[in-house]
């Protein structure tokens, strides 16, 4: 890959193109992602004549749009037609409508029908993830018959055998899934053995409407490599393989991480203006909560005017509450994502967070109270901040656990929305407890 | 699974045990995770007679320790001996030394040697992940010969064929990997075909010392299902399969998410005291940064005493800086984890963050400045907060991008440490800019 940069630096486009042709699509995607704009344009120009649409599948969505804009619809459609249906659906689903239409119109009729069908399934469903090529055979076949069939299909012209597969699906005459046989099991069995005698019946059939997160959970929990996708009637309609699921796991983990950081979606490749706009929404929300805290503080200007040291100390209480609350919140958000936090154990988990808040609140109260006393030489100031700390950390534990759980029950993504509400609570409680106690005790 | 709860509620231990025996180890692990302590004890008592060590592989580390403590070393060793080497290593590596020794001592000599060898590889390396059972054959073999070998091995007594496998590894006489043949390719080929004619030579050989994160990246980028692990001499020593990699991807994503939230490790099942203690470290760090901000504010008590409204407004500047900085930081931490942020594009990425900070800083300056003006009826106060907002958001963008990048270069995990430094910067700059401007402009 460094070689290609060297060729391009030296202006040797031909050698660069030759070296590009040797690379795996995912490496080309990496190259495009790490290039600056000029270099990217140059690379796309080199790739254009024989564009491999699989590169698109590895690009982040923003960069994908950029690359697609620079390709001709016909060339793009030709490239997409070469993809497996699931990859084609994956690439097309994120495009805007016009781009979708122009690619679909240029696809061969058969591929077009499959892709259009794929797009009819709900977003993030198993139907969007699944491939349409699989090996399904009747239950009365033997291992020998299967081998002969596969060998014949491999050499036939219009084979629809998938490039790679991991399980043979055994179906009844209605095309309902009876079971599956892992390939390693086929290889171990003699020709005369009947498939019905070596198949696993107790397999995980995935409904075509199942959410992709649930699909990922199944694959992870049961160590699956491929699984049949069935329609409402139990008929085999597709297959999901573990490589699709790895992408889903990555995407879900990334989405949670970004959401908790207040970023809507990966914006690494987006232009400055569009990045700023998408992030602004989150900041605007936070302005509201910051203004609410300001209003709280503003009720105590009289107290602050009399003991100005309070102004220096009050952010400590709010920020420590925020930090402790974020700890509880992170654990809760993660446990909700992995289904480890459920109605059954919610009271216990949240109760524990309150206790943890109490313990750490007392520990911090001792430290910060002591420092405040030494700093300002007033034991009452130490007492005020210590009391406020305990109150705020208990609230932080309570709401850090409770907010994500309640949002999740309300079908709101806890990773996205929990942070704003929590900050509001820990700021308001922090300032209120500290300045309130100060007013009562010091004045 | 609900059934089992019902049985236990009704005190019908026998039916519960029977139902448990039907469950997949990962479901039993789920059940243990969701149970409260009494219920968990009951479940473990039911499982003890025929404990399936695979359950341990699915449990979170804390819960695993708890379960292991309640099993007898002998029974536990018997259960572990049933596991594949990689799972056994996975279970044993996280135990304390005494528990490790007691299990190892009770393992059959052969399994013990393999597990002990596994433990000699560095933590988080391919050597710890890999399985020791694989199918490797010489290059001159034919498909027919391979089939005969596998069928014979499957029925032999002391077979060391893995339960499931996805690739046949072709090795030279020195046991160096020449290439691999996916099983679906074997099945498609006639008996007379030589393996050397159908093998993929251009495969990804994984060095036994490779970090697991790098292994995961290879599997993800190239859609691998299994890959050979080789020693320094290129000799085949093990195989990594995609199910191990799915766990790694999950763990890495979880570790980053928790670290960014200020939580060292998953503590959902840990006792209150131990949770509080492990989280306290992070909070103690943050006390230091909070005290630094307090010191900054304390320099301006004179200014605050004269315009008390400043006390109400100053947390807005600091908190908006913190929020905007966290956005930049989250994107940078994620991009470092996926190797999308490198030295080659760091200047561009960080430069973009500064521009985004400038744009959103100006937008927020307008909004918050306007509100402050309307609220306190002083246009100069609006001007002060607007100016401070722009300054702090530019710093937030700069340091939100820079801190993770620099920490990563210094081989410090950016997910863990970036947050503290960033908060320090945005708090100090926020208070300093706001109160400094106020002192200059208002007094």
Q: Is A341 on the interface with B (CB under 8 A)?
A: yes
Residues B108 and B156 in one domain: no
Q: What chain B residue is nearest to A267 in terms of C-alpha separation?
A: B331
pLDDT in the model for residue A302:
94
Residues A94 and A185 in one domain: no
pLDDT in the model for residue A353:
96
Residues A288 and A363 in one domain: yes
Q: What is the CA radius of gyration of chain A?
A: 30
Which secondary structure element, helix H or strand E, spans residue B230, and what is its range?
strand B226-230
Decide if B426 contacts B396 (C-beta within 8 A).
yes
- Of B344, B396, B215, nearest to A31 by C-alpha is B344
Decide if A322 contacts A422 (C-beta within 8 A).
yes
Of the candidates B249, B272, B312, the beta carbon closest to that of A359 is on B272
Q: How far is B346 from chain A (nearest CA, A)?
A: 10
Residues A286 and A183 in one domain: no
Among A93, A120, A147, the domain-final residue is A120
Decide if B356 is inside a domain.
yes
Q: Is B282 on the interface with A (CB under 8 A)?
A: yes
**Residues 193 through 232 of chain A touching chain B, CB cutoff 8 Å:** 219-225
C-alpha–C-alpha distance, residues A55 and A67, integer Å: 10
Among B85, B120, B155, the domain-final residue is B120
Helix, strand and coil percent figures for chain A, each rounded to 5: 70, 10, 20
Domain with residue B66: its CATH number is 1.25.60.10
pLDDT in the model for residue A110:
83
Decide if A48 is inside a domain.
yes
Task: Report, as ranges of residue numbers, the positions in chain B whose pLDDT lies below 70.
Answer: 1
Of the candidates A189, A268, A360, the beta carbon closest to that of B279 is on A360
Decide if A33 is inside a domain.
yes
Residues B113 and B142 in one domain: no
Contact B324 A183 (CB under 8 A): no
Residues A278 and A420 in one domain: yes
Among B78, B93, B120, the domain-final residue is B120
Residues A291 and A380 in one domain: yes
For residue range B303-328, what is the model confidence (pLDDT) as tens digits? 999 999 999 999 999 999 999 999 99
Instruction: Provide, as residue numbers in chain B, all residues whose Cβ is less than 8 Å from the Cβ of A266.
Output: 331, 334
Residues B59 and B110 in one domain: yes
Residues B93 and B34 in one domain: yes
Give chain A's domain count: 3
Domain with residue B363: its CATH number is 1.10.357.20
Residues B102 and B162 in one domain: no
Decide if B227 is inside a domain.
yes
Decide if A182 contacts A166 (C-beta within 8 A).
yes
Neighbours of B69 (CB within 10 A): 11
Q: Suggest the residue from A62, A156, A268 to mutate for an interface test with chain B (most B CBs closer than 10 A).
A: A268
pLDDT in the model for residue B371:
96
Of the candidates B287, B294, B367, the beta carbon closest to that of A315 is on B294
Domain with residue A144: its CATH number is 3.10.580.10
Sheet holding A226-230, edge to edge: A206-207, A226-230, A236-241
C-alpha–C-alpha distance, residues B33 and B49, integer Å: 20
Assigned token pair, A113:
């029908």
Residues B11 and B102 in one domain: yes
b vs e for B167-183, b when ≥16 Cβ sit within 10 Å of the residue's Cβ?
bbbbbeeebebbbbbbb
Across the strands, what pairs with A125? A211
Decide if B125 is inside a domain.
no
- pLDDT tens, position by position, for chain A (443 residues)? 677 878 888 888 888 888 888 888 888 888 888 787 788 888 888 888 888 888 888 887 778 877 887 887 777 888 888 888 888 888 888 777 887 888 888 888 888 888 888 888 998 899 999 988 899 999 999 999 999 999 999 888 777 788 889 999 999 999 999 999 999 999 999 999 999 999 999 899 999 999 998 999 899 888 899 999 999 999 999 999 998 898 888 888 888 889 988 887 777 888 899 899 999 999 999 999 999 999 999 999 999 999 999 999 999 999 999 999 999 999 999 899 888 898 888 999 999 999 999 999 999 999 999 999 999 999 999 999 999 999 999 999 999 999 999 999 999 999 988 999 999 999 999 999 999 999 999 98
pLDDT in the model for residue B57:
81
Q: Is A183 on the interface with B (CB under 8 A)?
A: yes
Q: What chain B residue is nearest to A290 in terms of C-alpha separation?
A: B316
Q: Suggest the residue from B294, B405, B430 to mutate for an interface test with chain A (most A CBs closer than 10 A).
A: B294
Instruction: Provide, as residue numbers in chain B, all residues whose Cβ is less than 8 Å from the Cβ of A189.
Output: 151, 154
C-alpha–C-alpha distance, residues A135 and A156, integer Å: 15
Residues A388 and A312 in one domain: yes
Decide if A289 is inside a domain.
yes
Assigned token pair, B396:
């937030």
Decide if B262 is inside a domain.
no
Instruction: Provide, as residue numbers in chain A, all residues whose Cβ is less than 8 Å from the Cβ of B401.
Output: none
Which secondary structure element, helix H or strand E, spans residue A140, and what is its range?
none
Q: Is A288 on the interface with B (CB under 8 A)?
A: no
b vs e for B408-424, b when ≥16 Cβ sit within 10 Å of the residue's Cβ?
beeeebbbbbbbbbbbb
pLDDT in the model for residue A223:
86
Neighbours of A414 (CB within 10 A): 26
Q: How far is B16 from chain A (nearest CA, A)?
A: 19
Burial class (CB in 10 A: 0-12, 13-18, 19+), A405: buried
Q: How far is B7 from chain A (nearest CA, A)?
A: 17
Decide if A249 is inside a domain.
no
Decide if B330 contacts B260 (C-beta within 8 A).
yes
- Domain of residue B178 covers 136-242
């Amino acid at each position: 890959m460094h070689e290609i940069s060297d060729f391009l630096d030296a202006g040797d486009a031909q050698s660069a193109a030759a070296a590009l042709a040797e690379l795996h699509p995912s490496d080309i995607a990496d190259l495009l992602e790490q290039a600056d704009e000029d270099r990217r344009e140059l690379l796309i120009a080199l790739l254009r004549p024989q564009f491999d649409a699989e590169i698109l599948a590895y690009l982040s969505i923003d960069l994908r749009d950029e690359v697609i804009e620079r390709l001709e619809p016909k060339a793009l459609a030709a490239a997409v037609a070469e993809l497996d249906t699931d990859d084609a659906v994956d690439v097309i689903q994120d495009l805007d409508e016009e781009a979708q239409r122009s690619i679909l119109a240029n696809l061969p009729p058969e591929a077009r029908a499959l892709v259009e069908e794929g797009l009819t399934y709900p977003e993030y469903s198993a139907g969007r993830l699944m491939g349409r090529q699989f090996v399904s055979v009747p239950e009365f076949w033997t291992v020998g018959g299967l081998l002969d069939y596969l060998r014949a299909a491999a050499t036939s012209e219009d084979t629809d055998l998938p490039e790679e597969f991991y399980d043979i699906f055994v179906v009844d005459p209605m095309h309902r899934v009876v079971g599956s046989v892992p390939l390693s099991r086929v290889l171990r069995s003699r020709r005369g053995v009947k498939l019905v005698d070596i198949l696993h019946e107790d397999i995980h059939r995935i409904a075509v409407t199942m959410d992709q997160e649930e699909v990922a959970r199944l694959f992870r929990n049961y160590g699956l490599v491929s699984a049949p996708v069935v329609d409402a009637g139990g008929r085999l309609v597709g297959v999901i393989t573990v490589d699709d699921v790895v992408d889903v796991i990555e995407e879900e983990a990334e989405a949670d991480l970004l959401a908790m950081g207040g970023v809507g979606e990966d914006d690494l490749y987006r232009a400055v203006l569009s990045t700023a706009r998408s992030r602004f929404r989150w900041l605007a929300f936070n302005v509201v909560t910051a203004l609410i805290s300001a209003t709280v503080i503003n009720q105590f200007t009289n107290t602050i005017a009399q003991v100005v040291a309070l102004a220096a100390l009050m952010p400590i209480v709010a920020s420590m509450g925020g930090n402790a609350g974020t700890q509880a919140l992170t654990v809760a958000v993660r446990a909700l994502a992995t289904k480890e936090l459920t109605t059954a154990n919610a009271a216990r988990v949240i109760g524990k967070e309150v206790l943890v808040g109490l313990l750490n609140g007392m520990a911090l109260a001792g430290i910060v109270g002591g420092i405040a006393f030494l700093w300002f030489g007033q034991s009452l100031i130490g007492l005020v901040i210590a009391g406020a700390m305990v109150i705020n950390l208990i609230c932080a534990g309570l709401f850090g656990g409770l907010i994500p759980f309640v949002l999740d029950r309300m079908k709101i993504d806890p990773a996205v929305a929990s942070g704003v509400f929590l900050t509001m609570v820990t700021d308001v409680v922090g300032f209120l407890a500290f300045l309130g106690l100060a007013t009562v005790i010091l004045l």
